[in-house]
């Protein structure tokens, strides 16, 4: 799709003033591609500087995170929090701890989060943060000292009505615990609603751990339903083996699918009989080990270190690892192997070229901002429970998650239809969330 000439100068300016931030440019460009149809039909959205304002975060915080490792040496990392948009609610979005984190990654994630959070229909704005700290190979004590130092600066910028961080890659229950402990200590407040992804025993929500992966599978199931199909009997490939991947595998299996492959940075494992989830969880969640250990425990599985996990023929592909992990070549392989559904569990795992390839094929493709919104939606449910000092049952919370995902699917499908592109979930997700955010921005004035 060619960019509307009225959007072109705005995009050029975004690239110029955010030089070198390739992932941020990519996320903006994907949304702008979809907005061409909006400004064509409803040019009033070009007034009020709505689009220019949306591309400029409300606030960007960068800070030093010094800490002492187990050898007594001082380490220095960089911390980030980009508070992108608070027009629909407090900034909301995770923290990522990974060596690849720099401002461009945090901004792409924060920008995506605005639209994802709007799609949930819940009152949450968009933000994201993190650090280039690598938790891999670090002791619990080192992770704790890092988290305490990180929160010593971050605490002054967040709050239950201001900005509510959570987890993302490298930040799970352990890290949220250390972060919450330090926030509580510094502020002398038991402010449960300041962070989500907390433990069940101290203010967390049932289903939050499972929510992103479960939600992605619910979404994929809705996509299949548009073709009169379901997950039962389908061959599914899930990339990654972190929190999102593990619970996508669990839900897909519960719905009758055979999940035959998953991966980590050392390669991928194929088990034609269907992955043994308990074995995977023991390796990944309990021991924080490598996926190659899976094959060492008997059975017919194999560990592959060359090629791509997307070479494995499947009916449904769920990329749940990280950004730009599925390129054009992988997309063409999936298409040629007869894959029918691709739903993103990670944030922006498919490259623009891959998305274009799916667009010209019979594959139904759902972008992460729709398909992985179950995680942040359940964070918003955690905030609701914290605000009312309540805690809901697993069944009730999962029912809420399932109906939120059905709602997002319907919204994307209907918007795509309305704007003349039936089955285009990228357009449906971008346009319907943009309209909601833009209308609120117009209503609240130039701020």
What single-letter DSSP state applies at residue 20?
A: T
Residue labelled with tokens 């209907």: 414
Rounded Cα gap, residues 147 and 140, in angstroms: 10
Q: Which long-range contacts (CB under 8 A, 24 or more apart) does 27-30 make?
A: 27/107, 27/108, 27/111, 27/112, 27/348, 28/55, 28/111, 29/352, 30/348, 30/352, 30/355, 30/367, 30/426, 30/430
State yes or no: residue 107 binds ligand GLU (CB under 6 A). Answer: no
Q: What is the nearest approach in angstroms of ligand GLU to the Cβ of residue 407? A: 17
CB of 169 to ligand GLU, least distance (A): 8
Cβ of residue 110: shortest distance to ligand GLU, in angstroms?
Answer: 10
Q: In this complex, which beta carbon is closest to ligand GLU, that of residue 349 or of residue 375?
A: 375
Contact stretch for ligand GLU (CB under 6 A) within 87-95, 279-287, 387-395, 407-415? 87-95
Reply yes or no on whether 128 is catalytic: yes
State the pairing for strand pair 316-319/302-304. unpaired
Q: Is 7 in the site for ligand GLU (CB under 6 A)?
A: no
The residue within the footprint of ligand GLU, chosen from 57, 89, 90, 93 (CB under 6 A), is 93
Least distance in angstroms from the C-beta of 377 to ligand GLU? 8
Closest residue to bound ligand GLU by CB: 94
Nearer to ligand GLU, 93 or 203 (CB): 93
Determine which residue in the list 18, 85, 148, 196 makes contact with ligand GLU, applying CB under 6 A: 196
Let me know: does 229 contact 222? Beta carbons within 8 Å. no
Distance between CA atoms of residues 383 and 203, nearest Å: 9
Tell me how far, at minimum, the Cβ of 112 lies from ligand GLU, in Å: 8
376 contributes a contact to ligand GLU by CB under 6 A: yes
In sequence order, which residues have a C-beta less than 8 Å from that of residue 260 and are 6 or more positions away? 235, 236, 237, 270, 271, 272, 274, 275, 312, 314
Binding residue for ligand GLU, selected from 83, 163, 168, 250, defined by CB under 6 A: 168
Does an H or E element contain 302, and which?
strand 302-304
What whole-number distance in Å separates Cα of residue 63 and Cα of residue 79?
5
Scan residues 404-443 and list those touching ligand GLU (CB under 6 A). Answer: none
Distance CA 64, CA 150 (A): 8
Residue count at the site for ligand GLU (CB under 6 A)?
11
Residue 298 near residue 259 (C-beta atoms within 8 A)? no
- CB nearer to ligand GLU: give 196 or 433: 196
Which listed residue (323, 351, 379, 430) binds ligand GLU by CB under 6 A? 379
Catalytic hit among 92, 128, 184, 284: 128
Give 3-state DSSP helix, strand, coil % of the chain, rounded to 5.
50, 15, 35
**Least distance in Å: CB of 314 to ligand GLU?**
24
Identify the residue among 213, 215, 375, 428 touching ligand GLU (CB under 6 A). Answer: 375
Q: Does 125 bind ligand GLU (CB under 6 A)?
A: no
Do the Cβ atoms of 61 and 114 come closer than 8 Å?
no
Window contacting ligand GLU (CB under 6 A); options: 39-47, 258-266, 358-366, 374-382: 374-382
Taking CB under 6 A as the rule, which mask of x and - marks residues 328-367 in contact with ligand GLU? -------------------x--------------------
Sign of CA dihedral 340, 343, 346, 351: positive
Choices 79-87, 88-96, 256-264, 334-342; region in contact with ligand GLU by CB under 6 A: 88-96
Q: How far is CA 186 from CA 56, 61, 65, 179, in A?
A: 31, 19, 16, 11
Of 6, 123, 145, give the one whose Cα is nearest residue 65.
145
Q: Which is nearer to ligand GLU, 198 or 284 (CB)?
A: 198
Q: How far is the CB of 94 from ligand GLU (least distance, A)?
A: 3
CB of 422 to ligand GLU, least distance (A): 27
Q: Helices 352-359 and 328-336: crossing angle, nearest 10°?
A: 30
Q: Is 212 or 351 the residue whose CB approaches ligand GLU more closely?
A: 212
Dist CA 343 CA 30 (whole Å): 16
Task: Please tell me whether residue 166 binds ligand GLU under the rule CB under 6 A.
Answer: yes
Single out the residue of 57, 89, 94, 340 in contact with ligand GLU (rule: CB under 6 A). Answer: 94
Catalytic residues: 128
What is the binding site for ligand GLU (CB under 6 A)? 92-94, 116, 166, 168, 196, 347, 375-376, 379
């Amino acid at each position: 799709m060619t960019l509307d000439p009225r959007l072109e100068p705005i995009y050029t300016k975004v690239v110029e003033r955010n030089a070198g931030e390739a992932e941020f440019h990519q996320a903006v460009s994907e949304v702008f591609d979809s907005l061409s149809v909006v400004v064509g039909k409803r040019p009033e959205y070009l007034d009020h500087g709505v689009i220019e304002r949306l591309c400029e975060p409300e606030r960007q915080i960068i800070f030093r995170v010094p800490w002492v490792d187990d050898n007594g040496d001082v380490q220095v990392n960089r911390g980030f929090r980009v508070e992108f948009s608070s027009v629909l609610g407090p900034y909301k979005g995770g923290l990522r701890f990974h060596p690849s984190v720099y401002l461009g990654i945090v901004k792409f994630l924060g920008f995506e989060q605005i639209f994802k959070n709007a799609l949930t229909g819940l009152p949450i704005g968009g933000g994201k943060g993190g650090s280039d700290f690598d938790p891999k190979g670090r002791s619990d004590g080192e992770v704790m000292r890092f988290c305490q130092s990180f929160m010593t600066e971050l605490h002054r910028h967040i709050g239950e009505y201001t900005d509510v961080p959570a987890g993302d890659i490298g930040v799970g229950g352990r890290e949220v615990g250390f972060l919450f402990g330090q926030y509580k200590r510094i502020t002398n407040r038991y402010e449960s609603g300041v962070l989500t992804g907390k433990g069940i025993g101290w203010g967390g929500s049932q289903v939050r751990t499972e929510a992103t992966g479960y939600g992605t599978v619910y979404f994929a199931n809705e996509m299949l339903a548009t073709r009169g199909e379901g997950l039962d009997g389908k061959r599914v490939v899930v990339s990654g083996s972190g929190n999102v991947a593990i619970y996508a595998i669990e839900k897909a299996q519960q719905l009758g699918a055979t999940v035959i492959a998953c991966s980590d940075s050392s390669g991928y494992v194929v088990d034609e009989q269907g992955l043994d989830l308990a074995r995977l969880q023991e390796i990944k969640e309990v021991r924080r080990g490598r996926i190659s250990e899976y094959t060492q425990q008997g059975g017919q599985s194999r560990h592959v270190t060359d090629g791509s996990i997307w070479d494995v023929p499947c009916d449904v592909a769920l990329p749940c690892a990280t950004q730009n992990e599925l390129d054009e070549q992988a997309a063409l392989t999936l298409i040629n192997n007869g894959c029918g559904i691709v739903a993103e569990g990670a944030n922006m795992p498919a490259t623009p070229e891959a998305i274009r390839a799916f667009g010209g094929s019979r594959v139904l493709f759902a972008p992460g901002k729709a398909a992985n919104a179950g995680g942040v939606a359940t964070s918003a449910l955690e905030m609701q429970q914290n605000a009312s000092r309540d805690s809901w049952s697993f069944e009730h919370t999962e029912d809420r998650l399932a109906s939120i995902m059905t709602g997002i699917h319907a919204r994307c499908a209907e918007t795509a239809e309305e704007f003349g592109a039936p089955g285009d979930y990228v357009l449906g997700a971008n346009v319907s969330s943009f309209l909601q955010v833009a209308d609120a921005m117009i209503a609240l004035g130039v701020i």
